[in-house]
Amino acid sequence: MLTEAGPRSFDAVIIGAGHNGLVAAAYLARAGLKVLVLERREMVGGAAVTEEILPGFKFSRAAYVLSLFRAEIIRELRLADHGFSVIPRNPSSFTPLLDGRFLLLGPDPGLNHREITKFSPRDAEAFPQYEATLDRITRFVEPVLDMAPPDLAATGWKERAETIGDLARLVWRAVKLGRDLLPLLEMCVAPASRILDRWFESEPLKSTLATDAIIGAMASPSTPGSGYVLLHHAMGQTDGVRGVWGYVRGGMGSLAQAIAGAARAHGATILTGRPVAKILTEADGATGVILEDGTTIRARVVLSSADPKVTFLNLLPAESLPGKFRDRISSMDFSSGVTKINVALDRLPSFRAHPGHAPGPQHYGTIHLVSAMEEIEVAYRDALAGRPSTRPVIEMTLPSSLDPTLAPPGKHVMSLFVQYTPYTLAQGTWDDPGIKDAFADRVFRVIEEFAPGFTASVLARDILSPLDLERIFGLTGGNIFHGAMGFDQLFWLRPAPGWSRYRTPIANLYLCGAGAHPGGGIIGAAGRNSALAVLADLRRFISPRHLRHSRVA
C-alpha cells in the first residue's frame, strides 16, 4: 500500500485507471515489474464504468457496448477468470420509421435479406457483398491495431532499417488485398456518404449504417475522412463472431474490474481517489509523479493513459517539451458533439412500428432514431452554428433487455448516445440553469414520436453534456476518442509526427491511452502496445531474469 510509511518507489507508475491504463499495468506486472496505478476518481475504468446512479439501476455511464476490445488481451490476461463475459446482441440494430415500417439487422444473413428487401431488393443483394468487402478490409487493418506504427522520423540506422522493414511488410500485405486496396484507400479519406451512396439506394439502410461513421465525432457522413470512422467501428468481434457488438454482463465496469483483477493478480497496486498533479522530470527524463496531496512517488518509467492535452499541457511544465511538439498537441482537434443520457425506466418502450413492452428483438440491439441521411446533415449544421441539434440523431440501447441484473425486476436501464451538441454554445453555456434539461426534453419528444408513452415511463435521468464528459471522465472537449479520428490524427500522426510509438519527447514517459495509436473506442491495444514498448526499452537496463513471460514481453 501507499502510506506514509509505505513504499514510494516503483518500476512503473501509470496515470489513470481507464481500460488502457489497466491493460498496460497488467502486462507490466505480468512481466515482473513493480507497478502502481493512480486514478483520480473513486473507481477504476475511466469511461468503461458501471455506476448505480439510482438505487438498483446500474448504468454503463459512458461507454456502453463492446466489440473492438482485442481478443488477444482477453486470452492473455485470462479475463474470463476474473468475471468478464459478453452478451451478444441478435439482432444488432433496429431502425423504426414514423410510417410504421422498420429495419432489423444482425448476424443472420437471412434476416438481413428479408428486412432490406422491404426497402430495396437491389440493396438486399448488395448488402452481403458490402459486408464481405468490409470483412476483407478489416482483416487487413486489425493487425495494424496491435503494432506500433513505423517510425517515419527515425534517424539512427537501426531504427531506419526497422522502419523500412515495417513499411515493406505493410505494403506487401496491402498489395495482397488486390481489388480491395482501392476501397481501403477510399475509406481512409472519403466521406462515408459517398461510400454508402455507391453501395445502396434506400435511406433507412444508409442512415442506419452512417451512424457508425459519425459516432462520437463532430462530423457528418459528408465530412471527408468519416469513411474511416465507419471502418473503425466495423472491426472487432464478440465470442469469435466478427462484426457483432455485445453488452458486457454487469455493465462496462465489469470489463474494467476484470482487467484490474488480472493486474492485481500479477502484483500491481491500484489506488483510486489519488489524482496526479504533476509528472516529475529531471535531466534524464521522467522520474515519477507528484499527487495533488503533495505525495511524491518515484518510478523508473511513467505511463499516462490521460489524453494528450491533459498529459502534455496540464501535467508537464511548458519548458520541458520541444516547442514544435507542444504546438502540435495544442492544435489537436478535440471537438465533440456528444451528449450521453442515462435513463431509468419502469418499462421498456413500445414502438409504433413494432409494439410491445416485453423484451423482444426490437429492444436487443442499437435502436437508431434517424431514417434519412439528410436528417443527420441538418442536425450537424445546427451544431456548426453552435446550437444543439433541433432534431438530434439518437442511438438508444436497452441492455437490461438482455441482462436483467442491471435493474430491479420489471424495470430497465436505457443509454442514449445523442448528437449533435457542441462543446461551446453560441448562446449561454452548458452550466446555465435549464440548458441540459431543455435539450433532454427535446430528445425525449423525438423518442415519443416513435414510442408513445415513453416519457411517462421515465423514473430518472442522468444528462452528460460535452462539458460533463470532460469534467467527470477527463475527456478534453468531451471527445470520447482522446482526439478526433480524422486521418490527420491517426497511425503515425497520433498524437504527433515522430511520436506515434508510445514514447514521448521526454525519456521514460509513455502515452498509453486512446490519444495514442490506434485511437478511441474500448480496444485495449494502446495499453498493450505501450507496455510492450516499455518492456523492450527496459530490457536494455534490466536483467532478462527480472522480466517474466518474455514471449509476450
CATH number of the domain that residue 526 is part of? 3.50.50.60
Q: What share of the chain is helix, strand, coil (3-state, %, to 5)?
A: 40, 20, 40
Q: How many CA atoms lie within 13 A of 61 on its CB side?
A: 23
Last residue of a domain, one of 213, 244, 275: 244
Of the candidates 143, 136, 122, the residue with the CA atom closest to the CA atom of residue 179: 136
Measured torsion, CA atoms of residues 69, 71, 72, 74, in degrees rounded to the nearest 10 = 80
Mean pLDDT of the chain: 93
Domain annotation covers residue 115: yes
Would you state the pLDDT for residue 543? 47
Same domain assignment for residues 343 and 432: yes
SS3 assignment, position 316:
coil
Same domain assignment for residues 236 and 109: yes
Q: Which amino acid is at 288?
A: G
Would you state the pLDDT for residue 4? 43
Same domain assignment for residues 498 and 518: yes
Does an H or E element contain 15, and which?
strand 9-15
Domain annotation covers residue 526: yes
Same domain assignment for residues 399 and 449: yes
How many separate domains does the chain show?
3
Would you state the pLDDT for residue 229? 87
Would you state the pLDDT for residue 250? 98
Would you state the pLDDT for residue 187? 87
Domain annotation covers residue 364: yes
Would you state the pLDDT for residue 163? 82
77-to-14, 29, 263, 305 alpha-carbon distances in Å: 18, 11, 8, 19
Domain annotation covers residue 492: yes
Of the candidates 58, 60, 87, the residue with the CA atom closest to the CA atom of residue 365: 87
What is d(CA 125, CA 117) in angstroms, rounded to the nearest whole number?
8
Domain annotation covers residue 4: no
Residue ranges in the chain modelled with pLDDT below 50: 1, 4-5, 543-545, 549-553
- The residue segments making up the domain with residue 223 are 86-244
Read out DSSP for 324-339?
Answer: HHHHHHHT------EE
Domain annotation covers residue 552: no
Q: What is the pLDDT of residues 305-324, one digit of tens each?
A: 999 999 999 999 999 999 99
Domain annotation covers residue 3: no
